[in-house]
Structure 1
Amino acid sequence: MLNKGLGSWIHKRRVKSGADIALILDDYQLSYAQLATRIDRLAAVFAERGVTSGTRVAFLGGNHPAFLETLFACNMLGAIFVPLNVRLAPVELNYALNDSGSQMLICLENLDDQARLALQDSSVREYLTVSNTPEAPSEYETALHASSGNYRDTAVSLEDASIILYTSGTTGKPKGAVLTHQNLTWNSLNVLVDYDVTSKTVALLIAPLFHTASLGMGALPVLLKGGTLVLQERFVPAEVLQAIEKHGVTSLSGVPTTYQLLAEDPAWAQTDISTLKMLTCGGSAVPVRVLEAYEARGLGFSGGYGMTETSPGATSLRAEHTRAKMGSAGLPHFFTSVRIVDGLGADLPAGEVGEILISGPNVIKEYWQRPDATESSYYDGGWFRSGDMGYLDEDGYLFISDRLKDMIISGGENIYPAEVEQAIMEIPEVESVAVIGVSDEKWGEVPWAVLVLKEGAELDTEALINHLNGRLARYKIPRTAVFTDSLPRTASGKIRKAELRNQFGAAQS
């Protein structure tokens, strides 16, 4: 085949496992053969509308078969897929469309109003809407059914761009991370080596596919292996539990809050989750109380660390090591390497905190049209600067300390908010927390905790400090607790600590 990239995957799956179920959304199912036919038809539609090698095609929508159909149809033609975050404001969407130079936008119908605002003064020339109900009448389905659908084997190399994913942009404008076919293929191979993904895997995707973890760690490895994806359009704990039981889900991915809400749902105890074999958790370490809730039902958590720029996996922690390496993000993925360096780029010994550097075929080589950002993001030519702080223990396991820019320096001591936040999350009354540095005449900075409590719960600063005494060094314990109804977050769900620092008078980094 001429196509060495992702565009060939579903065509090959049609030959190897055509009758097997590839996608499920509610009661709608597509076999690999049916999915391949739809992708062939969509690729022909794109080609008829001027999409060719290098053309950018954007998609606005959540977990829907059309998301994956658009991705693979683009990659069949050598075009570049640009998934957009549905939580972005129209002006932010417009920026991503114009920065990427997207010529076409595919959009779910419920987001049409938002999309049309974003399309004003944009580079987009072709626009197709898709019904939120699969195969219901829409511009997208009409075009598919009128298409010739002949398979197109286009020359695509592993070094060619497959996807442009825009980072959250906590400061300045978001950057477009260029993920090549090589990046995504090797990341998928890392997942297959380090996790128990098989052709019998039934993976429930509850995080949006436009987030790199859901796509790179969930969808693509499972499709490469020939397993089944169960798409969940929104996260409602009761509906997730129903889907696990209905479809015999074997694999589930989420963040600590996801698993906490599932375990607290009234249906938790009565739901048959006996088919579950693999739980993966990213974003932060699993609080002990959540870990115990799942261990009581015979389940453990695999963890890991990564980012958009690593497609996204950098490290993985197998479930059997979760207790022994509590708080660790695990070992580097099989085909990936990790270093810890000081401010001058020199390697640090085990146990010493420094910046995390990552290298491997899953690591991006550039940001879209941002040579300045690309140049400043690498050491020694190929080691990506994560901007995260951490250390390796004597066994090579990675422990994340915090974001470099979020580190608090109090009286000459380094305080890593993630460590403090993890200890605070052990308190049952706490829903979420952010620890920030606030200016102090004596110490330079002191830590403050900004907390959201569970509905009806009560907690004061004294109780918080009493909980942390003996768990953390005294200089790490927040001087003040601030209680609020919600924490400001980016479109991808990350807490905007810069806003909290501005609000509470923190020293600026």
Structure 2
Amino acid sequence: MVEYIVNWWEKRCLLTPDHIAVVDGETGERLTYSELNAMVKRLAAKLGTHGICRGDRIALLAPNHVAYFEWLFACRHLGAVLVPLNWRLALPELASILADCTPKVIGVHSRFALLAEELRASHAMEVLPLDLAEDLSLACMAAAQDTQPGSAEADPEDPFVMIYTGGTTGKPKGVVLSHRSIFWNAANTAVTWNLTAKDVTPTYMPMFHTGGLNALSLPVLHAGGTVVVVGQFDAEHTLELLNREKCTIALLVPTMYHMLIQSPAFADAVFPTMHTFLSGGAPCPLPVYQAFEAKGLSFKEGYGLTEAGPNNFYIDPQDAVHKRGSVGRPMLYNDVLLADDEGCEVATGEVGEVWLRGGHVFHSYWNRPEATAEVLRPDGWLKTGDLGKRDTEGYYYIIGRKKDMIISGGENVYPLEVEHHLRQHPAISDAAVVGVPDEKWGEAVSAAVVLEEGCSLTQDELIAYCSAAIGRYKVPKRVLFMGDLPKTAVGKIDKSRIIATMLQCGNEA
């Protein structure tokens, strides 16, 4: 039997042609599944005239926009590979990515037209406007239906999307997500999370990131629901949009949730249609949990990475209240293993590296077979580099990055545990814990702290606060107060820069 991946997007458009698929959160423009699919086919035909064939890479440089779905499914139609670019990167960083993936064309939003021209100066690629199929307005959908380019037969392992990682060290890697990867993440999420055609989700996460594209957007479309695409996060606008569009489930990062609960409008806000608020991308501080719990709103955390999903666990929001900080249990169609350094499963309650296996796992790193072999075992297990533990009821907790673990005086210190405690202090807005080289301790537990506006806190006061609640070897020996924590291009805390700053400052307790 020949294995294949069904063209679920086409099937969805046939099943629910008149249901609203995508909403522009800024303009309010709505597209049904049939309308969006007509745009997809028209774009695929036009891209075909530009010589796009199976396996060709198509780069996309745009803020969150409805066109992401148009270009994505046009690539599916042609067998091409979509490479969404992180527009927050500097010109040399984008140039390096383009040199690696060698796209034949790049679709560009008008906002980045000048940047695209600079990139074209050093790369042999054609620059195309994002609205390449602009003549396909809602008024001329009938004309679009006449254009029926042949849909490429997709092998499950054919590359579909390539997302470049935003790591803090080394050259960014192109994570190749095959048709298999995309399909199984969407199907697994839709089934396990009980998504239906009644679900409506806003997409605030950047769509060049797996969180914006794969966490909820594609699973909700898979289920026949509606995706509201929003270009920029604003707390007051978000509170209004969630109710205006009758949203049911939303994914935001902790920073967004912090801004949301700080908004004066949050105190009086009600969300009659929302069944789940989901946090991802980073550990969520306790005050956010408390703020949503006080309003009787369902709130939970998720876990994933570009190389797997990014969805891997499910927890009922009611269980999340009693299992605070847990990401839940494995989803229906993937497996989880907590492994020691020898690859053996650790006992309940012990810390091990999180390994994942399932159809949603990535295919490879683009042109980097050695890097692929380091994390993807022949038996299908992906070694994530993250640490976790499992309780007696089978609920999983993410402890932090394996490479971030601090060994101080022979003791293992997990930064996430200390960071959780620091963030519970009312004067602390954000915190990051790192290990700084130290002659006595090997690594000294050190904290970078951002204070709430108008608050003050001394290093001695912070150390005393930690000493009262956590083991002495976990208490930060050095504290650096910062205006903001440095971030990578995808918004993750850049701990390597924090360590460098601490070494430069010599800020010893």
Question: What TM bracket, shorter-length normalisation?
Answer: over 0.9
When structure 1 is superposed on structure 2, of 216-225 and 384-393 the one drifting more is 384-393
1:427 to 425, 428, 432: 425
The alpha-carbon deviation at position 173 of structure 1 amounts to: 0.6
* Residue of structure 1 in register with 2:45 after alignment: 44
What CA deviation, in whole Å up to 9, does each residue of 1:155-203 have, x standing for no partner?
A: 1122221101111132111111110111111111221122131101111
* Residue of structure 1 in register with 2:367 after alignment: 369
1:251 to 249, 252, 256: 249
**Which amino acid is the alignment partner of residue 425 of structure 1?**
R
The alpha-carbon deviation at position 486 of structure 1 amounts to: 1.7
1:270 to 268, 271, 282: 268
**Which amino acid is the alignment partner of residue 48 of structure 1?**
T
Q: How large is the Cα RMSD of the aligned pairs?
A: 2.1
- Runs (5+) with no aligned partner, structure 1: 131-137
Residues 287/487 of structure 1: CA separation in 2 closer, same or farther (3 Å cut): closer
> Contact 1:245/1:271 (CA < 8 Å) preserved in 2?
no
* Residue of structure 1 in register with 2:19 after alignment: 20
Asked whether 1:297 is paired with 2:295, we answer yes
> Contact 2:181/2:363 (CA < 8 Å) preserved in 1?
no
**Which amino acid is the alignment partner of residue 412 of structure 2?**
N
Runs of 4+ displaced beyond 3 Å: 2-6, 142-148
Q: Secondary structure at the match of 1:329?
A: strand
Q: Secondary structure at the match of 1:249?
A: coil
What CA deviation, in whole Å up to 9, does each residue of 1:187-221 have, x standing for no partner?
A: 11221122131101111111111110221111101
1:464-475 aligned within 5 A: 464-475=462-473
When structure 1 is superposed on structure 2, of 285-294 and 225-234 the one drifting more is 285-294
Q: Secondary structure at the match of 2:116?
A: helix
1:120-135 aligned within 5 A: 120-124=121-125, 126-130=126-130
**Which amino acid is the alignment partner of residue 490 of structure 2?**
S
> Contact 2:42/2:133 (CA < 8 Å) preserved in 1?
no
> Contact 1:45/1:143 (CA < 8 Å) preserved in 2?
no
* Residue of structure 1 in register with 2:94 after alignment: 93
When structure 1 is superposed on structure 2, of 226-235 and 287-296 the one drifting more is 287-296
When structure 1 is superposed on structure 2, of 115-124 and 41-50 the one drifting more is 115-124
The alpha-carbon deviation at position 380 of structure 1 amounts to: 5.0
Q: Secondary structure at the match of 2:307?
A: helix
* TM-score of the pair, normalised by structure 1: 0.93
The alpha-carbon deviation at position 140 of structure 1 amounts to: 4.8
Q: Distance in 1 between matches of 2:363 and 2:32?
A: 35
The alpha-carbon deviation at position 36 of structure 1 amounts to: 0.7
**Which amino acid is the alignment partner of residue 134 of structure 2?**
E
> Contact 2:299/2:320 (CA < 8 Å) preserved in 1?
yes
1:53-92 aligned within 5 A: 53-92=54-93
Asked whether 1:159 is paired with 2:152, we answer no
Q: Distance in 2 between matches of 1:472 and 1:140?
A: 59
The alpha-carbon deviation at position 284 of structure 1 amounts to: 3.4
The alpha-carbon deviation at position 13 of structure 1 amounts to: 2.6
Q: Distance in 1 between matches of 2:503 and 2:366?
A: 35
> Contact 2:338/2:355 (CA < 8 Å) preserved in 1?
yes
When structure 1 is superposed on structure 2, of 182-191 and 267-276 the one drifting more is 267-276
Q: Distance in 1 between matches of 2:494 and 2:370?
A: 24
Q: Distance in 1 between matches of 2:74 and 2:409?
A: 56
What CA deviation, in whole Å up to 9, does each residue of 1:31-65 have, x standing for no partner?
A: 11110110010000111111111111111112101
The alpha-carbon deviation at position 287 of structure 1 amounts to: 2.3
Q: Percent identity, please.
A: 37
> Contact 1:291/1:300 (CA < 8 Å) preserved in 2?
no
Aligned pair count reads: 497
Q: Secondary structure at the match of 2:296?
A: coil
* Residue of structure 1 in register with 2:404 after alignment: 406
When structure 1 is superposed on structure 2, of 53-62 and 344-353 the one drifting more is 344-353
**Which amino acid is the alignment partner of residue 464 of structure 1?**
L
- Runs (5+) with no aligned partner, structure 2: none
1:139-154 aligned within 5 A: 139-142=132-135, 149-154=147-152
* TM-score of the pair, normalised by structure 2: 0.93
The alpha-carbon deviation at position 336 of structure 1 amounts to: 1.1
1:230-245 aligned within 5 A: 230-245=228-243
**Which amino acid is the alignment partner of residue 127 of structure 2?**
Y
* Residue of structure 1 in register with 2:338 after alignment: 340
The alpha-carbon deviation at position 379 of structure 1 amounts to: 3.6
Q: Distance in 1 between matches of 2:281 and 2:92?
A: 27
Q: Distance in 1 between matches of 2:186 and 2:264?
A: 36
When structure 1 is superposed on structure 2, of 346-355 and 174-183 the one drifting more is 346-355
Q: Distance in 2 between matches of 1:270 and 1:400?
A: 33
Q: Secondary structure at the match of 2:205?
A: coil
Q: Distance in 1 between matches of 2:493 and 2:297?
A: 29
Q: Secondary structure at the match of 2:497?
A: helix
What CA deviation, in whole Å up to 9, does each residue of 1:230-263 have, x standing for no partner?
A: 1110011111111112111111101222112111
Q: Secondary structure at the match of 1:159?
A: coil
1:105-504 aligned within 5 A: 105-124=106-125, 126-130=126-130, 139-142=132-135, 149-379=147-377, 381-504=379-502
